[in-house]
Amino acid sequence: MIDVAAEARVSQTTVSLVLNHADGARLSPETRQRVIKAAAKLGYQPVRRGGAPAASAATTIGFVCDELSTDPWTAIGLDGVREKAWSHGLTVTVMATRGDADMEAAALAQLAALPLAGLVYATINTRLIDAPAWASPAPLVLLNCHAAGGAFASVVPGEVAGGHAATDVLIRAGHRRIGYINGEASMEAARHRLRGYRQALATADLPFDPDLVREGNWEPLSGYEATRALMALAHPPTAIFCANDLMAVGCYEALRELGLRIPDDVAVMGYDDREIAQHLHPPLTTVLLPHFEMGSIAAEWLIDAAAGSPARPRQVKVECPIVMRKSV
CA dihedral 77, 82, 85, 90 (to 10 degrees): 140
Whether 167 is in a domain gets the answer: yes
Q: What is the pLDDT of residues 124-176, one digit of tens each?
A: 999 999 989 998 899 999 999 999 888 899 999 999 999 999 999 999 999 99
Asked if pLDDT for residue 29 goes beyond 90, the answer is no
Which positions ≥6 away from 306 have C-beta within 8 Å? 58, 117, 118, 138, 139
Q: What is the pLDDT of residues 89-137, one digit of tens each?
A: 999 999 999 989 999 999 999 999 899 999 999 999 999 999 899 988 9
- Residue pair 115/137 in contact (Cβ under 8 Å)? The answer is no
CATH of the domain at 166: 3.40.50.2300
Total domain count, the chain: 2
Q: What is the pLDDT of residues 178-236, one digit of tens each?
A: 999 999 999 999 999 999 999 999 999 999 999 999 999 999 999 999 999 999 999 99
Whether 7 is in a domain gets the answer: yes
Which residues, in sequence order, are bridge partners of residue 119? 62, 140
- The closest alpha carbon to 193, from 120, 247, 261, belongs to 247
- Per-residue model confidence (pLDDT) at position 24: 52
Q: What is the pLDDT of residues 238-260, one digit of tens each?
A: 999 999 999 999 999 999 999 99
Whether 23 is in a domain gets the answer: yes
Distance CA 39, CA 21 (A): 14
Domain of residue 190: give its range: 159-287
Distance CA 12, CA 302 (A): 23
Whether 235 is in a domain gets the answer: yes
Whether 15 is in a domain gets the answer: yes
Whether 275 is in a domain gets the answer: yes
CATH of the domain at 36: 1.10.260.40
Whether 303 is in a domain gets the answer: no
Q: Which residues of 215-234 are buried (b: 16+ CB within 10 A; e: fewer)?
A: ebbbebebbbbbbbebbeee
Where do the H-state alpha helices sit in the chain?
2-8, 12-19, 29-42, 73-87, 101-112, 159-172, 188-203, 220-231, 245-257, 291-306
Q: φ and ψ at 70, to 5 degrees?
A: -75, -25
Q: What is the pLDDT of residues 52-77, one digit of tens each?
A: 344 456 789 999 999 998 889 999 99
Whether 53 is in a domain gets the answer: no
- Helix (H/G/I), strand (E/B), else coil: 118: strand
CA distances from 235 to 178, 209, 227, 238, 280 (A): 11, 11, 13, 9, 27
